[in-house]
Structure 1
Amino acid sequence: MVQKGQFLERSTLIPVGTEVMEGTAHRGKHKPPLLILPPRPDEGGGMDHVIAAELAWAAASAGFPTLRFNHRGVGASQGARGTGEALLEDAEAAMRVLLENADTTAVAVASLHGGAQVALALQARFPAVGGLCLVAPADVEVSALGRVTCSLLVVQGEEDARLPRAAVSASVARAGGDFEVIDDAGVTFQRNLSQVGRVVSHWLQRLSGG
């Protein structure tokens, strides 16, 4: 039995085509629910990434449903590892499971590192993505950030030089979004990771009208 205040994610199966991906979900009463996209498989990332765990804990602690998952071919997820369109199909399948489980028509999406590619493509294709958070984004065109049409949050470590900070800030501003720089943090947020969770939690609360 889960006691009040405990954080317990439940195993979730996500069908995609004839295959099944593994995921973990946490229930919540607030909307929108948060879909957490892991780093791309070629980056060696999965749903157990420390940043993914922090985002899931922060969102669930604030009362928002969450879902994180492994792309096909990663961890216990069936199938072969994919790229491009295949990763987008995985994210869409996970999004639809979250929409159904949370009984809602809109989700917020948070991505890690190169998962920003998938997140941006998902938002461009599906109006159900009502909020987009890119944590330590990599391998994306900075100009694409300025074309995001929903609520946008970009979180970058102070020591993360993969994308030029000034250009990211300007592009996020064009989209009317928010850009947060975490002091003394690098690409993996070995320092001040909890600040990332707090920033994303506050963003979700703004999306919910709180």
Structure 2
Amino acid sequence: MPEVIFNGPAGRIEGRFQPAKSRTAPIALILHLHPQFGGTMNNQVVYQLYYMFAKRGFAVLRFNFRGVGRSQGSFDHGQGELSDAAAALDWVQTVHPDARSCWIAGFSFGAWIGMQLLMRRPEVEGFISAAPPANLYDFSFLAPCPSSGLIVHGDADKVVPSKDVQTLVDKLKTQKGIVIDHKVVPGANHFFENHMDELMTECGSYLDKRLGVSKEIA
């Protein structure tokens, strides 16, 4: 799990990169929750998603948005963080240029950034959005959503009520050409405290299904 520093739009960005053994392995980019509410790349959800993809042979990068940890710059209300995410994906593609495809996984604020990024990057073939803040941010840019993916949240989430996530899911499911899987983790709050295993089971099962992988590694 080598530490990496690469250039972003606001200066240096700090990350952790897991190289892939295969030259053509897919890429995964993991995006953390809101920087002003304790979000870092070391958040447990981000950390677990990182290892979930690494275990399946992906080249995986998680990083700190501007102003977090050793990443330079300051919080930019989403616009700058989207630029950071684009720079991070550019960096992984530079060090792993023969990747067949790319996935984006985001948690909360990171899910909002990730879904904006997939609108801009046609190479993104799948996404995982954990607790997307559908009540706090505008997701209307997903028109149409270009990739199939998983939306997963807890039914005890007091930050983002289930009904708001359900509205987003229902809207996306009307779009042709993509499939949105929707999973609810019973009893889980916004941070999936005490329900991390259930969250990772849902995410891992979904990824294996999309990759056509047998159950042995799940």
TM-score grouping bracket, smaller chain normalisation: 0.7 to 0.9
Q: Is the 8 A contact 1:111 1:135 kept in 2?
A: yes
Say yes or no: does 1:49 pair with 2:52: no
**Structure 1 spans left out of the alignment, 5+ residues:** 1-8
User: Taking structure 1 as the reference length, what is the TM-score of the superposition?
Assistant: 0.85
Residue of structure 1 in register with 2:216 after alignment? none
Q: Summarize the Cα distance change of 1:191–1:18 in structure 2 as closer, same or farther, 3 Å threshold.
A: closer
| Cα separation, 2, equivalents of 1:78 and 1:141 | 27
**Which of 73, 81, 97 is the equivalent residue of 2:75?**
81
Percent of aligned pairs with the same residue?
27
Task: Within 5 Å, give how 1:48-197 maps onto structure 2.
Answer: 48-103=42-97, 104=99, 106-138=101-133, 139-141=136-138, 147-161=144-158, 162-163=160-161, 164=163, 165-175=165-175, 176-197=179-200
User: Taking structure 2 as the reference length, what is the TM-score of the superposition?
Assistant: 0.82
**Structure 2 spans left out of the alignment, 5+ residues:** 214-218
C-alpha deviation, 1:209, in angstroms: 4.2
Amino acid at match of 1:167: T
Deviations 1:158-210 (A, max 9, x none): 21251415424423422421001112211111122122223222333344343
Deviations 1:54-94 (A, max 9, x none): 11122212222211000111101122222232111100011
Q: Is the 8 A contact 1:156 1:180 kept in 2?
A: yes
Q: What is the aligned residue count?
A: 202
Q: Is the 8 A contact 1:142 1:171 kept in 2?
A: no
How much is the aligned-residue C-alpha RMSD, in angstroms? 2.2
C-alpha deviation, 1:18, in angstroms: 6.4
| Cα separation, 2, equivalents of 1:29 and 1:205 | 18
| SS class of match (1:87) | helix
Q: Summarize the Cα distance change of 1:118–1:152 in structure 2 as closer, same or farther, 3 Å threshold.
A: same
| Cα separation, 1, equivalents of 2:111 and 2:89 | 15
C-alpha deviation, 1:27, in angstroms: 2.4
C-alpha deviation, 1:116, in angstroms: 2.3
Q: Is the 8 A contact 1:62 1:201 kept in 2?
A: no
Q: Is the 8 A contact 1:142 1:167 kept in 2?
A: no
Residue of structure 1 in register with 2:201 after alignment? 198
My pick for the range that moved more, 27-36 or 124-133, is 27-36
| Cα separation, 1, equivalents of 2:75 and 2:52 | 29
